[in-house]
Copies of this chain bind each other. A is one copy, B any other.
Amino acid sequence: MNKPANIGLDAIDLKILRVLQTDARTPNIVLAEKVGLSPSPCSRRVKLLEQADVLESYRAVISRFAVGLSVTVFAGITVERHSDDNADAFVNAVLAMPEVVACHLVSGEHDFLLEVVIPDMATYEATVLRALLALPAVRDIRTSFAMRTYKSNGALPLDIAKLP
């Protein structure tokens, strides 16, 4: 049922993925040794994994605090049920906001769950919340602040857009 494209990934491929997930800059020589291969076939496998889109990209994980984006907010959004077009418009608007680092269509209490990363709460209210409320499809927003993060899913397309 829910185990589709496992095909083509053998044990060595999974080892490679595990290593690169932890450190994407692992030199190919080290990677080869860790997975029990010599450098050449290891490099080939990585290339193939990239072409097959199993390895989608490589990202640097940046300290949110260091760049002044220390506030994370989750917003549960309820939209009007009458029109799919409205929902599409909502999604498109959200995709255009760099402060919104994640957007999921979810079951349960809300329709969408958004993760927003911003410098402070005032910015959230002034920028994101206001923009979201202006969208006609949005019926309700429940905001919940992350007071502390014990574990985070790491690399994020942060909004580093404050240049002199």
90-138 of chain A: CB within 8 A of chain B:
91, 94-95, 100-110, 113, 115, 119-121
Query: In the complex the two chains form, is B151's CB within 8 Å of A154's CB?
Result: no
In the complex, A113 Cα to B113 Cα: how many Å?
11
Q: Which residues in window 1-53 of A have CB below 8 A to B?
A: 1-6, 9, 11, 14-15, 17-18, 20-25, 52-53
Copies of this protein in the complex:
2
B4 touches A70 (CB 8 A): yes
Chain B residues within 8 Å of A91, by CB: 150
Quick one: closest B residue to A97, CB to CB?
A: B151
- Interface presence of A54 (CB below 8 A): yes
Given A60-B17, A155-B154, verify A148-B113 contact (CB < 8 Å).
no
* Given contact pairs A3-B68, A21-B157, A119-B2, A108 touches B144 in the complex (Cβ within 8 A): yes
Residue A59 lies at the interface, judged by CB distance under 8 Å to chain B: yes
**By the criterion CB–CB under 8 Å, are A102 and B153 in contact?**
yes
Which residues in B have their C-beta under 8 angstroms from that of A106?
Answer: 74, 144-147
Interface contact B150-A23, CB-CB below 8 Å: no
Q: Are A160 and B60 in contact (CB under 8 A)?
A: no
Query: Could you jot down 21 A-B contacts, CB within 8 Å?
Result: A3-B68, A4-B65, A9-B67, A14-B162, A17-B62, A17-B160, A21-B155, A24-B58, A52-B66, A53-B66, A55-B60, A58-B59, A59-B154, A74-B113, A102-B149, A102-B153, A105-B149, A106-B146, A153-B156, A154-B154, A154-B157
